[in-house]
């Protein structure tokens, strides 16, 4: 399997506690966060992963080089910020498969990638989005699906919050979905693709209850450091 990890963000909200490395390299008990992601993906047989980098990309490249535990690594470096969509489009130039999995480089979400592939192939779609049910959606916004797993509504971030399904930051897609965009064009995958195209093209949601944490804010970063399940 082939994947893209979005690892080019500035990590502005985390900078008060992690300032000398890019967010995906934030230390977790002596190891960079990105190693936790790659270790989990290794267990599902990924053999090529493209790291979409930008801010302090040299720190990632010098640590990992061209491989990690037998996984071949490539780098798609953004000279100028391209947004999530532009970064994904840029990284596709390093991919050879028609189908690719994309995930955020600041989120640890333990899903069954084999089940995701089966789900994707069993639906007539170019995009499957992995959702996670949480007790409070206010930080993320939420998404809802119909009885056939098709995404049918987005709700913006709100103080109201409450229980619901959020975008877990993992996608499986056909590369044609993004190749319609010119290379080097900045755009947001969430706003320009997900929230606009879903009304005219069927996108489907795969819901997982696996371990989930986003280290984008200092509180959750510390929570991951303190998680005893990662210290075994």
CATH number at residue 184: 3.90.550.10
Task: State which residues form the domain around 46.
Answer: 2-230
Q: How far is the C-alpha of 103 from the C-alpha of 101, rounded, in Å?
A: 7
Cβ atoms < 10 Å from Cβ of 190: 17
Q: How far apart are the first and last CA of the chain?
A: 28
| Intervals of the chain under pLDDT 70 | 10-11, 158-160, 228, 230-232
- CA–CA separation, 132 and 166 (whole Å): 5
Rounded Cα distance between 212 and 109, Å, is: 4
Strand ranges inside the chain, DSSP E: 2-7, 27-28, 31-32, 48-53, 67-68, 71-77, 99-104, 107-109, 127-134, 142-145, 151-155, 164-174, 204-208, 212-214
155 in Cβ contact with 54 (< 8 Å) = no
pTM of the model: 0.93
Domain count, the chain: 1
């Amino acid at each position: 399997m082939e994947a893209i990890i979005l690892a080019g963000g500035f990590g502005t909200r985390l900078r008060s506690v992690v300032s000398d490395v890019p967010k995906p390299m934030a230390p977790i008990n002596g190891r960079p966060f990105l190693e936790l992601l790659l270790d989990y993906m290794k267990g599902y047989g990924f053999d090529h992963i493209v790291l979409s980098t930008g801010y302090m990309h040299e720190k990632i490249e010098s640590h990992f080089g061209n491989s990690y535990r037998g996984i071949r690594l490539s780098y798609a470096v953004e000279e100028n910020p391209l947004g999530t969509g532009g970064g994904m489009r840029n990284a596709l130039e390093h991919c050879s498969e028609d189908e690719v999995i994309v995930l955020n480089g600041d989120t640890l979400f333990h899903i069954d990638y084999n089940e995701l592939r089966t789900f994707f192939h069993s639906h007539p779609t170019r995009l499957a989005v992995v959702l996670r049910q949480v007790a409070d959606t206010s930080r993320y916004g939420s998404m809802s699906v119909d009885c056939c797993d098709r995404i049918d509504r987005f709700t913006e971030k709100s103080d109201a919050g409450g229980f619901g399904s959020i975008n877990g930051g993992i996608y499986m897609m056909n590369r044609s979905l993004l190749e319609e965009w010119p290379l080097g064009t900045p755009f947001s995958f969430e706003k320009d693709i997900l929230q606009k195209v879903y009304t005219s093209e069927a996108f489907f949601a795969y819901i997982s209850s696996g371990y989930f944490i986003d280290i984008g804010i200092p509180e959750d970063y510390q929570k991951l450091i303190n998680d005893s399940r990662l210290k075994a």
